[in-house]
Amino acid sequence: MGYQSTVQVIQRGGKNRQWYLICPAPLAQALEIEKGEVIEWVVEDKHTLILKRAPRRPAPTPTQWRAHGE
């Protein structure tokens, strides 16, 4: 089964436009996409986009958090 979504464009100010592609909830659940997850869009050709997960980065340890906050 396929899922359709509508492309949304938000214009802020003069020339600043952002394009949003909404991922339907059933699709996100099937892919186990998590909030804040980094994804990469790869253009294969004019009609094909490939969605790739970026490698997960390990969470910073508390020591690393303090080092960045100093």
Domains of the chain with bracketed CATH: 7-69 (2.10.260)
Q: In the predicted model, what is the mean pLDDT of the chain?
A: 83
- For residue 2, what pLDDT is reported? 81
Cα 15 to Cα 29: distance, rounded to the nearest angstrom: 35
pLDDT above 90 coverage of the chain, percent:
29
Band (47; pLDDT cuts 50, 70, 90): very high
Q: Which of 19, 18, 25, 31 is nearest to 3 (CA)?
A: 25
Band (36; pLDDT cuts 50, 70, 90): confident
Q: Output the pTM of the full model.
A: 0.58
Is the pLDDT at 28 greater than 80? The verdict is yes
